[in-house]
């Protein structure tokens, strides 16, 4: 029996959760949407503290065959460690990974009262859909641009406040450029001071777990003031006009900063989360 809500249900049972147990299903944006849903539960006073995140274990013959039939996977089987190469001119598809990430979201005063260690603030989210194609990204990136706009508005922030971004960038020929163009269009000239990381170059694509673990990476980047690298770029695609953090980590500025996590899924789902320092 296939039970997509199984992981959330079991965590809820273990913790005796009473505010509700929910499982957003939006393909590769599912983990990020779960974090955004948790934010809204706290904002609406449905809960004070929530376990949120995403996980997927899809390294199995059936999903592998499906992605292979779509020609979505990299065929660099001779050098798998270097096969996931977002933004490289010779990228040829994603590398399927397994894993997940969990964030504990908590109402600020509730967290302070119990002496919790607070890493940063989740400030807002933006959700849109492309209405374009079941699997291909909208080359104009209009849905992504709107999601960024909505996320910034929800956070009461502007493009000038953003200094880091963890991109969805899966290492597909069309997807990486479409996203990069959308980021440049949405952020305008302020994109020049945004350090962009594509951590799927190191983890592979975790599908429903991607947006969650990449939110964890973003939180740690804000806490440590260090943007993680994008590896395996031998030749940056000239069509990519954003500032990609290549090869080694890059220091982020001191003071108040905010960062974005982009997640997109088959079906045209777009989720952008905003985190900021405290």
CA distances from 186 to 146, 191, 236, 240, 249 (A): 8, 8, 21, 14, 25
Among the listed residues 22, 28, 133, 193, the single catalytic one is 28
The answer on pLDDT for 12 being more than 80 is yes
Instruction: Give the β-pairing of 195-197 and 49-56.
Output: unpaired
Element (H, E) at 180: helix 173-187
What is the C-alpha separation between 149 and 194, in angstroms, rounded? 16
Report the pLDDT value the prediction gives residue 181, as an integer from 0 to 100. 97
Element (H, E) at 67: helix 61-69
Report whether 59 contacts 69 (CB < 8 A). no
Report the pLDDT value the prediction gives residue 1, as an integer from 0 to 100. 63
Report the pLDDT value the prediction gives residue 14, as an integer from 0 to 100. 97
Give pLDDT tens digits for 110-165. 999 999 999 999 999 999 999 999 999 999 999 999 999 999 999 999 999 999 99
Give pLDDT tens digits for 176-218. 999 999 999 999 999 999 999 999 999 999 999 999 999 999 9
- Check if 28 is active-site: yes
Among the listed residues 120, 164, 168, 269, the single catalytic one is 168
Give pLDDT tens digits for 37-55. 999 999 999 999 999 999 9
204 three-state secondary structure = coil
Quick one: residue 54, left, alpha or beta (phi over 0 = left, psi -120 to 50 = alpha)?
beta
* Whether domain 6-276 has CATH 3.40.47.10: yes
The answer on pLDDT for 30 being more than 70 is yes
- Check if 168 is active-site: yes
Report the pLDDT value the prediction gives residue 2, as an integer from 0 to 100. 78
What's the whole-model pTM score?
A: 0.97
Ordered by start, the domain boundaries in the chain are 6-276
Q: At what angle do helices 210-224 and 30-43 cross, to 10 degrees?
A: 70
- Check if 22 is active-site: no
Among the listed residues 22, 120, 193, 205, the single catalytic one is 205
Q: Which two tokens stand for residue 57?
A: 């274990």
- DSSP state at residue 228: P
């Amino acid at each position: 029996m296939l039970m997509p809500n199984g992981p959330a249900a079991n965590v809820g049972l273990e913790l005796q959760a009473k505010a509700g147990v929910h499982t957003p299903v939006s393909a590769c944006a599912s983990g990020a949407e779960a974090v955004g849903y948790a934010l809204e539960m706290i904002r609406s006073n449905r809960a004070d503290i929530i376990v949120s995140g995403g996980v997927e274990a899809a390294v199995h013959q059936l999903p592998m065959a499906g992605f292979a039939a779509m020609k979505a996977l990299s065929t660099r089987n001779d050098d798998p460690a270097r096969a996931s190469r977002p933004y490289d001119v010779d990228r040829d598809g994603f590398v399927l990974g397994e894993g997940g990430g969990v964030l504990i979201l908590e109402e600020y005063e509730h967290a302070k009262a119990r002496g919790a260690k607070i890493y940063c603030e989740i400030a807002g989210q933006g959700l849109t859909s492309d209405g374009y194609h079941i699997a291909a990204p909208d080359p104009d990136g209009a849905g992504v641009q709107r999601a960024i706009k909505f996320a910034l508005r929800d956070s009461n922030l502007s493009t000038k406040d953003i200094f880091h971004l963890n991109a969805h960038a899966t290492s597909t020929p069309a997807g990486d450029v479409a996203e990069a163009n959308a980021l440049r269009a949405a952020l305008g000239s302020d994109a020049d001071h945004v350090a962009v990381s594509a951590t799927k170059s190191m983890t592979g694509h975790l599908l429903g777990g991607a947006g969650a673990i990449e939110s964890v990476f973003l939180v740690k980047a804000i806490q440590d003031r260090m943007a993680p690298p994008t590896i395996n770029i031998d030749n940056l695609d000239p069509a990519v006009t954003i500032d990609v953090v290549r090869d080694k980590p890059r220091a982020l500025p001191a003071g108040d900063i905010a960062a974005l996590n982009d997640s997109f899924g088959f079906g045209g789902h777009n989720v952008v989360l905003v985190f900021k320092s405290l």
